[in-house]
Chains A and B, each alone.
Chain A
Amino acid sequence: MRLLRSKKLRINLVGYGFVLLSVLGIFFFNLGPMLSSFYLAFCEYDIITPPKFIGLANFYNIITNDEIFWKALINTIYYVGVSVPLRLILAFLIAILLNQKIRGMGLYRTIFYLPTITSGVAMALIWTWVLDPSFGIINTVLRFFGIQGPGWLGDPKWAMPGIILVALWQVGTQVIIFLSGLQNVPVQFYEAAEIDGAGSFRKHISITIPLISPIFFFNLVIGIIQSFQVFDKVYIMTRGGPANATIVYVMYLYERAFTWLKMGYGSALAWILFFIIMLLTLLQFKFSKWVYYEGG
């Protein structure tokens, strides 16, 4: 009996030894900071003087008299609302094209995936130049078709669409996730549909989309979570300008917390963001009846 207990104890100790570093990580870099950020959200804190508890004042100020907060929130919703659906559709179409059994697929896949694996800062720089109103390639192509292209990043109306274009260009991960789903659709389904005389379009609508709807759902949920946190592109391409036309949530949070050193206010902003993301994710799960689970 004693022997058994000491063996159990030994296993526990060895187990804790293995996970020790990571458990410390959970507490020091996740749970701990999470709790203190929650506390700071109710404080005024500039790092130099100790935090001062001010109750709900941060949240109250953010919601009632912070115009830039609302501007940033609306811009972010605009970015998410436009880029997420477009990216889903684009990634799905590319995945269908890449799912053909033809030669040279490796090269095509590489081209579609490259923008996703390379540095976001470099990608944003390239696109700033691509979108240059006079010397960039987009407006050159438009000019070729006789269209006078917009001022893109310098124009408050067109700056956000410009940033969204970059997001559309970075769909590689979603493409690969779709592709792996497509490759799991049993061939027999398509063969049966062909015998019934279904064309290519019809087959995708009636077979592919329902069968990979869990993947659509996954890409949608992750896509919304990640798009809400958009930062690098915006920082490099516009810094939130012109005239706050592209200021997005995390950009604003960054400025408040790390440029103005308003750590309490910044923490409150972070918690509002967390809350919004959680809410949206829960809503998606609640309205996920359209997702088809095999055998479910």
Chain B
Amino acid sequence: MNRTPKPSFQYIYRVILGYMLLTLGAIAFGLPFFWMLSTSLKPIEDVFIIPIKWIPNPIKWNNYIEALTIFPFGRYFINSTKITLLSIIGHLISCTLAAYGFARIPFKGRELLFFLLLGTMMLPSQVTIIPIFIIFKKLGWVNTHLPLYVPSFFGGAFYIFLLRQYFMTIPVELEEAAIMDGCGYLRIFWNIYLPLSKNALITVIIFSFMGSWNDFFRPLIFINSPDKFTIPLGLAGFRSEMGNYWHYLMAASVVAVIPCILLYFFFQRYFIEGITLTGLKG
């Protein structure tokens, strides 16, 4: 049995091949980002030349200032931030409460309601968006930010499901002891479940953030006046009005993308956990 040298050769060969393929793939996947960054730092006359210039020279930082002032991107940034924060708060309040109810309180009709809730995940949003638009129109909420964050105060199946799964892993004994001591459900929820579920809460915050920060369809439908635009809407408007000013467009895109990238760098594992726990989103 003289087989020992062979696997080790094979191993090295496989590692090298693995790295090569990975690097090739990473270049293909990273190149558009590099191209965005590179274009965003070029003077306009370097944007439209052949052969293309990969590295901007001279570097024109001013593109960012110009791009962000030609269009009121500061305003869009504030609007997006406000809507996103309120959505997160809404989801945190409504979804943690519901998740605890569904996980731990044996009330009548619980299974049916939970089943209905899961059912809403399968409903394509196109089926409900028209009546929802009509409701908000009748309420006079169209062209305000209300339709973009108020619904999050009324739950979200994906987050409730995720939190419920998490709450179910917390030992019931903790709760039983607390009940013996005369604690109410609200106290248990607040003092035991929430502090023990930090990871799940962060996951909800992240997905809620991405959902509303990157949302395009709903702002497109509900918002008309430019001073109420969110960042994605602003980018789309920028594109249709500024057409070929690609250095500005790419600078604005960089600004739109940065918060998501930062969030990912700091909270990588919560992204992965959220996806593998539920298999959804994205």
Which A residues fall within an 8 A CB radius of B?
A: 11-26, 28-34, 36-37, 40, 47, 94, 97-98, 100, 102, 106, 108, 110-122, 125-130, 132, 134-135, 137, 140, 169-170, 172-173, 176-177, 180, 200, 218, 222, 225, 229, 231-232, 235-236, 250, 253-254, 257-258, 263, 266-267, 269-271, 273-274, 277
Contacts and interface: CB of A to CB of B under 8 A. Distances in A.
Contacts of A22: 94-95, 97-98, 117, 154-155, 160
A130 B32 contact: yes
Contacts of B5: none
B236 A236 contact: yes
Contact of B35 (A26, A130, A236): A130
Contacts of A176: 271-272, 275-276
A15 B232 contact: no
B148 interface: no
Contacts of A122: 232, 235, 253, 256-257
Interface of B is mostly: helix
A177 B26 contact: no
B70 interface: no
Q: Which of B31, B275, B281 has the most CB of A within 10 A?
A: B275
12 contacts: A19-B102, A21-B155, A26-B113, A33-B128, A34-B127, A37-B131, A111-B29, A114-B264, A119-B235, A137-B31, A253-B126, A270-B126
A215 to B, nearest CB: 9
B124 A277 contact: yes
Interface string B43-83: 00001111110000000000000000000000000000000
Contact of A18 (B100, B232, B265, B268): B100
Nearest to A199: B10
Interface of A is mostly: helix
Interface string B90-121: 00011101101110011110100100110010
A60 to B, nearest CB: 19
Given A15-B110, A40-B131, 9 more contacts: A19-B97, A20-B97, A25-B155, A30-B128, A100-B22, A120-B216, A125-B239, A129-B39, A231-B216
Contacts of B239: 125, 128, 236
Interface stretch (B12-20, B168-176, B196-204): B12-20
A140 B51 contact: yes
A118 B113 contact: no
B144 to A, nearest CB: 17
B214 interface: yes
Interface in B1-15: 14-15
B180 interface: no
A40 to B, nearest CB: 7
B123 interface: yes
B116 A135 contact: no
Interface in B239-279: 239, 246, 249-250, 253, 256-257, 260-261, 263-265, 268, 271-272, 275-276, 279
B185 A18 contact: yes
Given A18-B98, A19-B97, A273-B124, A119 B231 contact: yes
Given A236-B236, A271-B127, A97 B282 contact: no
Contacts of B105: 11, 14-15, 18
B126 A274 contact: yes
Contacts of A253: 126
B166 interface: no
Given A22-B94, A140-B51, A172 B32 contact: no
Contacts of B33: 114-115, 126
Contacts of B130: 33, 37, 40, 257, 263, 266-267, 270
B250 A177 contact: no
B116 A117 contact: no
B36 interface: yes
A24 B113 CA distance: 11
Q: Which of A19, A26, A108, A126 has the most CB of B within 10 A?
A: A19
A263 B134 contact: yes
Contacts of B113: 19, 23, 26
A236 to B, nearest CB: 6
Nearest to B189: A18
Given A98-B22, A108-B22, A126 B216 contact: no
Contacts of A98: 22
B132 interface: yes
Which 3 pairs from chain A and chain B are nearest by CB? Answer: A15-B107, A25-B154, A18-B101
A175 B106 CA distance: 38
B214 A120 contact: yes
A4 B100 CA distance: 23
B22 A21 contact: no
Contacts of B235: 119, 121-122, 125
A21 B160 CA distance: 12
A120 B218 CA distance: 13
A47 B221 CA distance: 14
